[in-house]
A and B are shown apart, each in its own frame.
Chain A
Amino acid sequence: MSVEPLDAAAAQDHLEMMNRILAESQPRLCNGGEYFVVWGIGSAYITVLAALVHGGLLPSAAAWSLPIVIAACAAFSIVRGRQTRGVLQRSSLVQREFFNVLWLTLGMAFVVDLAGFNIFTGLASAAIWSVAEAIVLLYIGMHGNRRAQIAGVLVIVSLVVANFASPGIAGYVLGAGMLVGYGGFGASELLARE
């Protein structure tokens, strides 16, 4: 192979180019604020609706909208995921690791909700979703996203406040944490991207 040997200036040039490429290719963990908005609103709706039904402010028939909301959120995630799969031609190792954490955390919360409802009844199951959302947000925050750190703390604060608040308002506090923390983080990501 006929290649010119490198002198110090060329070596410097190569290292600078390499550093620039590495700096520019620092991957962002969250590339889909819309998922956070949809699931933030969805989980807040479910929690608040459950609290309203439980408090007798809405008839129990209103609970029938819950599976519809969950199905709509899931359908959005699947359709949006298929749309972006064709566009996203690169996925970083960190992003892949993050998606593993995300699906494991939310998947476990889903399994507990679906198959562990006898152990975790009522608002405890909503609180599990808050914990799952806080883990996802704080994981993003650990990789340098300040908004995710703040949003994760907000969700945790909502959990703690709900724990010590009167049972009548605990559901609303959890719902507010989901909406402002999870959904709000997604909205801020979408706005920051624009």
Chain B
Amino acid sequence: MDELLLSKVRLGVVAELLNFDWIAFSELARSLDVSNGNLGAHLSKLVDAGYVEEEKSFANRRPLSRYRLTKRGREAFASHVTELQSLLKAAQ
């Protein structure tokens, strides 16, 4: 099982990014209802693992960080979900 995705916040981030091209940091924090510091730490791990791509830019002179799922992240998510489902099936 993918240890990186065992965290509920990180799994939530990947699930949020699954349907979208890019999502801004503020949007992710609002959707997942987590603090900026907490989200930032989890996002760093996902970026370091190559699951998520980060883009930093400026919008109306304010910094804007956007994130999107990489192919590697998408594949890791798919196999993680399969393993979660197998675990549930085995327990039933």
Contacts and interface: CB of A to CB of B under 8 A. Distances in A.
A14 B10 CA distance: 11
A90 B7 contact: no
Given A18-B81, A27-B19, A86-B59, A11 B11 contact: no
A interface residue count range (under 10 / 10 to 19 / 20 to 34 / 35 or more): 20 to 34
A5 B64 CA distance: 35
A15 B81 contact: yes
A90 B7 CA distance: 23
A21 B81 contact: no
Contacts of B4: 1
A90 B60 contact: no
A21 B87 contact: no
B18 interface: yes
A90 B24 contact: yes
B11 A18 contact: yes
A31 interface: no
B88 interface: yes
A11 B23 CA distance: 26
A4 interface: yes
Contacts of B41: none
Contact of B15 (A11, A18, A89, A96): A18
9 closest cross-chain pairs (CB), A and B: A8-B91, A89-B24, A21-B15, A3-B6, A18-B15, A11-B87, A11-B84, A90-B23, A25-B19
